[in-house]
Amino acid sequence: MTDVERRAVISGIGQSAVGRRLGRTGVDLTIDAALEAIADAGLTTTDIDGLATYPGAGGGAGPGFSGPGTPEVQDALRLEVNWHTGGIEGAAQLAAVVNAVLAVSAGLARHVLVYRTVTESTEQGSGGRPGIGIGGGAGGGGGGGVPRMSGVMQWSIPFRAYSAANWLAMNAHRHFHEYGTTPEQMAMIAVNGRRNAGLNPKAVYRDPMTLDDYFASRMVTSPFRLYDCDAPVDGSTAVVVSVADHATAVDHPVARVEAVGTALRGRPSWDQFDDMTTMAARDAGAQLWTRTDLKPADVDVAELYDGFSFLAMVWLEALGFCGKGESGPFVEGGHRIALDGELPLNTHGGQLSAGRLHGFGFIHEACLQLRGEAGDRQVGAAVEVAAVANGGGPIAGALLLTREG
């Protein structure tokens, strides 16, 4: 049994304002989140000796997706770092956190600032979300200015499968076909998220949503309706990953990293993966449980990626909270996944209702819940173990966090 993970803790968390079209730059939002996280960790900028982000500058999949790269943030905060990294390849957005854990464990850094910043709402403006590779509103026959596709995207985008919404909708239909999953079941991910978002002052969509409201929302790409798709926002989230012995130096509980899941054993492809109903979550989820003595039943709260509602169902199965193919019945009616249910899910509202902070909103919320600082949406005083998962399709990463202190 390895204990690489357990040499690191998340000692501090921070988050900027989160909202639609804030009109602020990514680096401005990042500074807010970073300074809050550093102070929360009981540190100052001079203590930070590592820096990590996802995806880094230029890792773009559309306007406002990347956020500032590490050089820009390092300079803005005048950090002196011994280790730094940014990149889009790896175990989803959580790769940046996992890399920080490894750097701390290896002794390359003592306190790593890890951040993820999006300005998708401001940069998309009123034009809506573009398809990958086509940009906003580039349609209409000639295609002037639209680049020709090479690499892996040439196998999907020329067939007008522009967005991850299109690709993952086919995963969802396959799941429906193989396991009898229904739209009413999938809807509960969105309804549950909205219910929780009503208790989260920073969530962007807080008005109650009924099942009827869900089915009244327009179809985007079947079976995904508008409310199955997350909401682009502006915002930055930061955490400080520290050496474990720093836990005693802060005035609040910290999140110990109990286990990571980073595996990718199937083909790294949206359409050639062996099992369309799970994809990479299967591999990261299975690996995570090989690195801990804890079991799925020990988890008190689950913060699972819902860039599309269906992905949270994939993660419920991949992390063993229900059997394979059984996520539909598991979430049906929404009782099990409610704040007072057996497995509270996406307690801040998820990306569907709290906003698309793109992965890092889940780790921030998991830390709040472990620390008992989640306000009206706090699951209870006894949150000892939290599961966090990011990604969909051939992209997946997972963390198991425990409370210390």
Partner 1 sequence: MSRAVPFRVQPALDDDNRFFWTSGQDGRLRLLRCGSCGYYLHPPLPRCPECGSRELAAEAVSGRGEVFSYTVNHQSWDGDPEPYVIVLVALPEQAGLRLTSNLVDCPADEVRIGLPVRVVFERHDRVWFPLFEPA
Q: Which is nearer to partner 1, 196 or 309 (CB)?
A: 309
Q: What's the token pair of residue 46?
A: 């001079």
For partner 1, the closer of residues 71 and 147 by Cβ is 147
Which residue's CB is nearer to partner 1, number 78 or number 148?
148
d(CA 204, CA 121) in angstroms, rounded, equals: 11
Number of neighbouring beta carbons within 10 Å of residue 243 = 17
- Say which DSSP state 280 is in: H
Beta-bridge mates of residue 10 = 241, 255
Which residue, 69 or 183, has its beta carbon nearer to partner 1? 183
Q: How far apart are CA 6 and CA 3, in angstroms?
A: 5
CB of 324 to partner 1, least distance (A): 17
CB of 219 to partner 1, least distance (A): 5
Least spacing, CB of residue 179 vs partner 1, in Å: 12
Beta strand extents in 222-380 (DSSP E only): 224-225, 234-243, 254-261, 301-304
Binding site for partner 1 (CB under 8 A): 130-131, 133-134, 137-143, 146-150, 152, 154-163, 165-167, 169-171, 173-174, 177, 218-224, 270-272, 274, 276
The DSSP H or E segment spanning 213 is helix 211-216
Closest contact distance (angstroms) between CB of 133 and partner 1 is 6
Is residue 399 classed as helix, strand or coil in its secondary structure? strand
Looking at beta carbons only, is 144 or 381 nearer to partner 1?
Answer: 144
Buried b (16+ CB within 10 A) or exposed e, 206-233: beebeeeebeebeebbebbbebbbbbbb
Element (H, E) at 241: strand 234-243
* Least distance between partner 1 and beta carbon 174 (Å): 4
- Residue 285: name the closest of 300, 299, 271 by CA: 299
Closest CA to 347 of 330, 361, 332, 333: 361
Angle 24-29-31 (CA atoms, 0-180°, nearest 5)? 135
Minimal distance, residue 217 CB to partner 1, in Å: 11
Nearer to partner 1, 26 or 328 (CB): 328
CB of 218 to partner 1, least distance (A): 7
Nearer to partner 1, 58 or 128 (CB): 128
Q: How many other C-beta atoms can be found within 10 angstroms of the C-beta atom of residue 390?
A: 31
